[in-house]
Amino acid sequence: MSQRSALPAFALVSPVQLMVGGIIFLPAIYVFWLSLNQSSFGQAATYVGLANYAKVLSDPYFWRALVNTVIVVAVVVHVELLLGLLMALFFASGIPFRALMLAVVLAPYAVSEVSAVVMWRYLFEPEVGMMSQLLATIGLPPIEWSVNPSHGLLMVCLLSIWLHLPFSFVILYAARLAIPGELYEAGSMDGATGWRAFRRITLPLLMPALLIAALFRYIFAFRLFSEVWLMTGGGPARTTEVMAVYLYLEAFRYNSFGAAAATGWLLVLASLLLAVVYLRGLYREMFGKHA
């Protein structure tokens, strides 16, 4: 059962490794090669060095997409973590219909991006949608998501938070339930109740889970595509594009594979940068402290 049977162990992991290696890793490397070449679909490539990167980095639409992505990711992930945390604490404090409410909170997890877009467009349809009318009743300006770029992005944020809140909530709620009740009892004897108990006991013990949830959500929010594509299509006039939408348009509409590949590698690098702290910790855990 130990070292001598390492070969069969490799046989067992090989299907998984072949799949991710052949379908994700090798293509990703090939994208790097593509990003150094001038090519479009069906044509031979010629080496152009970093020209594609220079082209992308001097494209104002790229910068617009990058800024949009950063704003949406920052809003979505932080609002989501805050709401998830509040809900986890609320659930842990004992609420009526807890089991039923757990199912209710998980419901959006089952909804496709496509159906979610249908729902939120219906709610915010100008003038006639239920939320549009509610906003008008309380005297707020309407959300003109199809003409006003910042309103369009606001809808994308709302939609993403709604779709992914179940994930953040589950991670944080499970972590909160794992904190032993005795800690709070001991804390209350030392006078730590309410806010002080939260600051001294809950928050430090939830920190690892908060960081994990944040990391996963940063990385996954960064690749945001469908919500934007289906809600605004990147418009009006390319103002609400995010990185993945920009990449898609470069590749499949403007036939500029080199520029798209360069964007792709910038996306990979951004994800790596976000994850490097986490991966380093994991690597140390796996290979011992000396690594």
Partner 1 sequence: MRKRSLPLALLKLLGVLVIAAWSLVPIVLIVMSSFKADRDIFSVASRFKFEPTLVNYIQLWSRWGDFFTGLWNSFLVTTGATVLAVSVSLLAGYAYSRHASKALQASAFFLIFIRLIPPIVITLPLFPVVNWLKLNDTHFILILLYATFFVSLGTIVMRTFIDQIPRELDESAMIDGASRFQIIRRVIFPLAAQGMLAVAVFVIVYAWNEFLFAFIFTTTKAKTAPLVVAEMIGAVEGVEWGVLFAASAIQLLPVLAFVILMQKHLVAGLTAGAVKG
Any idea which residue has 């991670």 for tokens? 171
Interaction residues for partner 1, span 47-66 (CB under 8 A): none
Binding partner 1 by CB under 8 A: which of 73, 76, 155, 213? 213
- Kindly give the residue spans of alpha helices, DSSP state H, lying in 94-242: 98-106, 113-123, 130-137, 149-177, 181-189, 194-197, 203-222, 226-231
User: What gap in Å lies between CA 200 and CA 31, rounded to an integer?
Assistant: 47
Q: How far is the CB of 148 from partner 1 (least distance, A)?
A: 19
Provide long-range contacts, Cβ within 8 A and 24+ apart, for 62-67. 62/246, 62/263, 64/238, 64/239, 64/241, 65/241, 65/242, 65/243, 65/245, 65/246, 66/243
User: What gap in Å lies between CA 74 and CA 70, rounded to an integer?
Assistant: 6
Q: How far is the CB of 248 from partner 1 (least distance, A)?
A: 6
Binding partner 1 by CB under 8 A: which of 55, 61, 79, 121? 121
Q: How far is the CB of 119 from partner 1 (least distance, A)?
A: 4
170 touches partner 1 by CB under 8 A? yes
Binding partner 1 by CB under 8 A: which of 48, 51, 57, 119? 119
User: What gap in Å lies between CA 201 and CA 81, rounded to an integer?
Assistant: 18
Q: How far is the CB of 71 from partner 1 (least distance, A)?
A: 18
97 touches partner 1 by CB under 8 A? yes
Hey, what are 127's tokens?
Answer: 């003038």
85 touches partner 1 by CB under 8 A? no
Stretch that binds partner 1, among 55-63, 68-76, 145-153, 263-271 (CB under 8 A): 263-271
Binding partner 1 by CB under 8 A: which of 279, 280, 281, 284? 279
Binding partner 1 by CB under 8 A: which of 45, 48, 105, 210? 105
Q: How far is the CB of 102 from partner 1 (least distance, A)?
A: 7
Interaction residues for partner 1, span 134-153 (CB under 8 A): none
CB 77 within 8 Å of CB 284 = no
6 touches partner 1 by CB under 8 A? yes
DSSP 290: T
Binding partner 1 by CB under 8 A: which of 37, 148, 188, 255? 188
